[in-house]
Amino acid sequence: MNEQHSNATPFGPLPTWSDQLDPSVWTLADDPESEPDVAFGSKSPEGDSADGLTDHHALRLDDHFEWLSRRLPNLLGLAASADFDHGEIHRFESLPMANGDDPWGKIDSRLDTHEFDREVIAWLGELAGLPRGDQWGYVTSGGSEGNFRGLLLARQRFPESTVFYSDRTHRSVRHALECLRMQGLPIKSHADGRINLDHLYGTLGARSEYAPIIVANIGTTVHGAIDDLPGILRTLRELEVDQWYVHADAALAGMVLPMVDSPQPWNFEAGVDSLSIAVHKLIGTPQPCGVVLARRSGIEPGKGSTLLGSRSALAPLWIWRSMKALGREGFQRRIAKCFETADYAIDQLNELGLRAWRHRNSLTVVFDRPCDEIARRWHLPVDEKVAHLMAMPHVTRSQIDRLLQDLLMEG
């Protein structure tokens, strides 16, 4: 989408919406041409650590850690929290743990955290409106896997169906469709990122599709836009479709909407059939993680396994610890602070004469695209006309102020 800007800055390629989290965009080495060091380590005469790592290699790790830490204060486009300390969980890193492919299963030869996996699913399932006793799901490697598994559930129910998704949908959905060999049709979106229901109506109507599968965005990557779920269901009814499947991609908003006073319709109570949440974004974890959720009664016997084999056994612990440590009030306070930061950023940007806004209940502040140099310095994903910053829990007013100073200098 944004190729024309990709090499336009002296700092290297700009991140773009579509590849915002693609590691290839964030050039790691100063010299991208440098040869990777693939040689085995060899013991040096002195200075080895107990297990044989040479000082030279230890230094490489130190350097990289420092490089990452230096970037953090300027990462205003990062859709993940950095203010976490899962203290009691550190010790588990010394154990060779893995969760198996069914949180309800037990493989005696393994060290697992299935009981926490199940409690996380019960907790988030309840927040997402899944009745107790009818909950299915597991802790995933992140939002993408949840989308993948949700679409696989959809295909298991309706193997021949086409998947309709807005053109603002995260690329993991298109990727999943390709892997699953499902047919997909993009639907136009409005300028604010929400799906265009007229186009959905026209497209569905022209095809008289049996049991369409719809992906609803509960917070798009770029605008934080929440698709009108009641409107999608109304469209299906108006077209007299009598069977359908709705998968909701609630990557970030899935942890926000259950905690706010007046959430947009987003969950099982509002009519979705499966749901993916990238839990790591709001709570902050050392590695990405998420959940996929569905009604147990909707899954045919034998078709409810996880996508991957061995899964992270740490992820359920991080999520579980956050749930217990923060409680509902803690999450509410955390999110209220994010909204305050977002509104502060919007006010300040407006005062500078820039257009800036956010959707209701969204942590994504969308504003007029700054020059490439500023976008690069603050790691702001950019579209043709706009950029966004993420008002995540660790983001402070002073960071926003520093960005504003740069924008002021830009003039």
Q: Which is nearer to ligand PLP, 19 or 48 (CB)?
A: 19
- CA–CA separation, 129 vs 139, rounded Å? 17
- Amino acid identity for residue 263 in this structure: P
Tokens of 85: 């300390």
State yes or no: residue 221 binds ligand PLP (CB under 6 A): yes
- CA–CA separation, 273 vs 270, rounded Å? 10
Q: Which is nearer to ligand PLP, 248 or 335 (CB)?
A: 248
Query: Binders of ligand PLP: how many residues, by CB under 6 A?
Result: 15
> Strand 213-217 vs strand 163-166: parallel, antiparallel, or unpaired?
parallel
Q: Which of 13, 100, 137, 143 contacts ligand PLP by CB under 6 A?
A: 143
State yes or no: residue 163 binds ligand PLP (CB under 6 A): no
Q: Of residues 69, 109, 362, 398, which has the active-site annotation?
A: 362
State yes or no: residue 235 binds ligand PLP (CB under 6 A): no
Rounded least distance, CB 96 to ligand PLP, Å: 25
State yes or no: residue 295 binds ligand PLP (CB under 6 A): no
Q: Which is nearer to ligand PLP, 78 or 346 (CB)?
A: 78
- CA–CA separation, 383 vs 5, rounded Å? 9
Rounded least distance, CB 170 to ligand PLP, Å: 3
Contact criterion met (CB below 8 Å) for 239 and 207: no
- CA–CA separation, 241 vs 195, rounded Å? 19
State yes or no: residue 251 binds ligand PLP (CB under 6 A): yes
- CA–CA separation, 108 vs 64, rounded Å? 38
Rounded least distance, CB 251 to ligand PLP, Å: 3
Q: Which of 113, 166, 220, 361 contacts ligand PLP by CB under 6 A?
A: 220
Contact criterion met (CB below 8 Å) for 55 and 260: no
**DSSP-derived secondary structure letter, 17:** S
Exposure of 135 in the CB half-sphere (CA atoms within 13 A): 23
Helix axes 143-157 and 171-180, enclosed angle (nearest 10): 40
- Amino acid identity for residue 6 in this structure: S
Q: Which of 75, 79, 248, 293 contacts ligand PLP by CB under 6 A?
A: 79
Q: Which is nearer to ligand PLP, 193 or 370 (CB)?
A: 193
Residues 164-183 that bind ligand PLP (CB under 6 A): 170, 172
State yes or no: residue 21 binds ligand PLP (CB under 6 A): yes
Q: Which of 99, 113, 135, 144 contacts ligand PLP by CB under 6 A?
A: 144
- CA–CA separation, 27 vs 357, rounded Å? 30
Rounded least distance, CB 241 to ligand PLP, Å: 25
> Strand 245-249 vs strand 163-166: parallel, antiparallel, or unpaired?
unpaired
Contact criterion met (CB below 8 Å) for 355 and 367: yes
- CA–CA separation, 154 vs 157, rounded Å? 5
Q: Which stretch binds ligand PLP (CB under 6 A): 10-18, 219-227, 332-340, 344-352?
A: 219-227
State yes or no: residue 288 binds ligand PLP (CB under 6 A): yes
**3-class secondary structure, 120:** helix
Active site residue 362: yes
Q: Between 262 and 281, how does the x/- string for binding to ligand PLP read (CB under 6 A)? A: ----------------x---
Q: Which stretch binds ligand PLP (CB under 6 A): 102-110, 121-129, 140-148, 260-268?
A: 140-148
Any alpha helices (H) in 128-182, and if so which ranges?
A: 143-157, 171-180
Q: Which is nearer to ligand PLP, 201 or 266 (CB)?
A: 266
- CA–CA separation, 354 vs 367, rounded Å? 7
Q: Which of 249, 266, 283, 400 contacts ligand PLP by CB under 6 A?
A: 249
Residues at the site binding ligand PLP, with contacts judged by CB under 6 A:
21, 79, 142-144, 170, 172, 219-221, 249, 251, 278, 288, 290
Positions annotated as catalytic residues are 362
